[in-house]
Amino acid sequence: MAYELYYWPSTPGRGEFVRLALEEGGADYVDVARRKDGMPKMMKLLNGPRVAEPPFAPPFLRSGKLLIAQTANILLYLGDELGLAPANEAGRLWTHQLQLTIADLVAEAHDAHHPVGSSLYYEDQKREAKRRAEDFHRNRIPKYLGYFEKVLSRNPRGERYLVGSRITYADLSLFEIVAGLGYAFPQAMKRQARRYPLAMALHDRVAARPRIAVYLGSKRRLPYDQVGIFRHYKELDG
Amino acid sequence: MAYELYYWPSTPGRGEFVRLALEEGGADYVDVARRKDGMPKMMKLLNGPRVAEPPFAPPFLRSGKLLIAQTANILLYLGDELGLAPANEAGRLWTHQLQLTIADLVAEAHDAHHPVGSSLYYEDQKREAKRRAEDFHRNRIPKYLGYFEKVLSRNPRGERYLVGSRITYADLSLFEIVAGLGYAFPQAMKRQARRYPLAMALHDRVAARPRIAVYLGSKRRLPYDQVGIFRHYKELDG
């Protein structure tokens, strides 16, 4: 039976991390909310009174009887299902640990343009966003990307992947981070990229994988925009 | 062999979620950085050049050969080890999903006083913090605590726990959330508490558990302060 992915239909956002895993894993899946009549189905699972284990927010995944939310949790599950994480406990925990650090970075990338609150328009927090984006460029991107660079460089199995000698969902997510940051902050990332050669090479290597390359060229891959996690505002591009 | 917990020695912070699980589970553990010469040991694991799988930040846990970071990841592991989560896959994922939502709330509770960046003093972002704290009180606390209230009310096994009919690490973490928010925002939480009777009852029930009660009365429980996640600034107590 096909997996059912539920996520806002108009933006890559957090759903994209799940899509990349499904695509690389060659999974049969339906991107429910992008189909006709899909949105009411998603909203019913989100807000319906009879869901015993309701998600807090999209994305969530239906797999048989399971309804799984929280991006990193979905990937923990799909890592096992699709062979996108080591099977042993130490490797599973390490891959998940990296994913949770990526999740922290995703939240901060969002808050760079919405430091006061997601209930307000960007225009109502422009001044605060400028300050936060400055801190993001100066302190946070170097801390995070420097960390992943370090992880790649120390991998005892070589610098091609974050974990071991095969691709995991954490690599796919790091690809999405590099792609998203490159969209949101083209100037800043252009200047910073040379400091993270291993992460940049990983990005290119993931993009060239057969299934991912097909996916990126398809309509299933949503373009970045101005409503999602990664947004381009010239004045925030440090 | 005792677990080794590594966390900043002066503040409960994210380490507290791990401590509560270790205490409720009756685990033998060492709170390394609070011991004499513990800090250099922690910093070596964090920044030492030979750590193959380095943590991004504290807390992290050493258990035999495993070095596990990211609070929710540590709890995923301890849930199995200490019997603080269901053993079946569906229950494990659901408990972890709730924990990841708690982790999101923890990050937002921090950003309520540090919306521009953790590299800056509170005094340098007071104005932004006032706006963010307002949004936190008006929109985010109701969304999160309302969600956990809903989860408790829908638990098919009763309203005493978030998951099933036994305590899990997610319950312990929700206790810490209620306690921490109550410290940071006493006025606001006093007004809001009546809307979340199940979460408040859970808090009291956890506090009264024999091992937790002993722990809370001991020196192992660090007091809340003005450097951690939960801080009390009168002007932010909406």
pLDDT at B232: 97
User: CB pairs under 8 A, 24+ apart, for B142-147?
Assistant: B142/B192, B142/B195, B144/A56, B144/B101, B144/B104, B144/B105, B144/B108, B145/B192, B145/B195, B145/B196, B145/B199, B146/B195, B146/B196, B147/A54, B147/A56, B147/B101
pLDDT in tens, A110-169: 999 999 998 899 999 999 999 999 999 999 999 999 999 999 999 999 999 999 999 999
- The whole-chain average pLDDT of chain A stands at 97
Predicted TM-score (pTM) above 0.90: yes
Point out the residue among B96, B140, B150 whose CB comes nearest to the CB of A54: B150
B20-40 pLDDT per residue, tens: 999 999 999 999 999 999 999
Sheet with A29-31, edge to edge strand ranges:
A29-31, A3-6, A60-63, A66-69
According to DSSP H, which parts of B87-140 are helical?
Answer: 89-111, 126-135
pLDDT band at A35 (very low <50, low <70, confident <90, very high): very high
Question: Are B94 and A53 within 8 A, CB to CB?
Answer: yes
Lowest-pLDDT choice from A32-41, A78-87, A115-124, B77-86: A115-124
Chain A nearest-CA residue for B114: A115
Nearest CA to B61 out of B72, B48, B49 is that of B72
Distance from CA of A155 to the nearest CA of B (A): 7
Candidates B18, B62, B73: best to mutate against A (most CBs of A within 10 A) is B73
Taking the C-alpha atoms of residue A217 and residue A23, their distance in angstroms, rounded to an integer, is 12
- For residue B56 the two structure tokens come to 């991004």
pLDDT tens digit sequence for B210-225: 999 999 999 999 999 9
Chosen for mutation from B14, B46, B51, B56 (greatest number of chain A CBs closer than 10 Å) is: B56
- Closest residue to B73, CB basis, from A93, A115, A135: A93
DSSP-assigned letter for residue B33: G
pLDDT, mean of residues A59-85? 98
CB contacts of A107 in chain B (<8 Å) are 104, 107
- The answer to whether the Cβ–Cβ distance between A70 and B96 falls below 8 Å is yes
> For A174-183, what is the mean pLDDT?
98
Q: Using CA atoms, how far apart are residues B149 and B169, in angstroms rounded to an integer?
A: 17
Query: Average pLDDT, stretch B114-123?
Result: 92
Assign B3 to helix, strand or coil: strand
Domain annotation for chain B: domains and CATH numbers: 3-82 (3.40.30.10), 89-209 (1.20.1050.10)
Residues A91 and A87: their CA atoms lie apart, in Å, by 7
CA distance B158 to A38: 32
Residue A128 is nearest to which of B56, B69, B128, comparing CB atoms? B128
When CB atoms are compared, the residue of B54, B66, B119 closest to A151 is: B54
> For chain B, how are helix, strand and coil distributed in percent, rounded to 5?
60, 5, 35
d(CA B162, CA B165) in angstroms, rounded, equals 8
**Residue range B165-209, pLDDT digits in tens:** 999 999 999 999 999 999 999 999 999 999 999 999 999 999 999
Do the chains contact at A139 and B119, CB–CB below 8 Å? yes
Asked if pLDDT for residue B1 goes beyond 90, the answer is no
Strand partners of residue B4: B30, B62
- Decide if A96 and B90 are in contact by the 8 Å CB cutoff: no
Between chains, do A93 and B76 touch, taking CB under 8 Å as contact? Answer: yes
Query: Looking at residue B25, what is its pLDDT?
Result: 98
Of A125, A138, A147, the CB nearest to B56: A147
Chain B closest-CA separation from residue A57 CA (Å): 9
Give the whole-angstrom CA distance, residue B231 versus residue B175: 17
CB–CB contact A139 B117 (8 Å): yes
Residue A238: what pLDDT?
80
Provide mean pLDDT across the span B86-100: 98
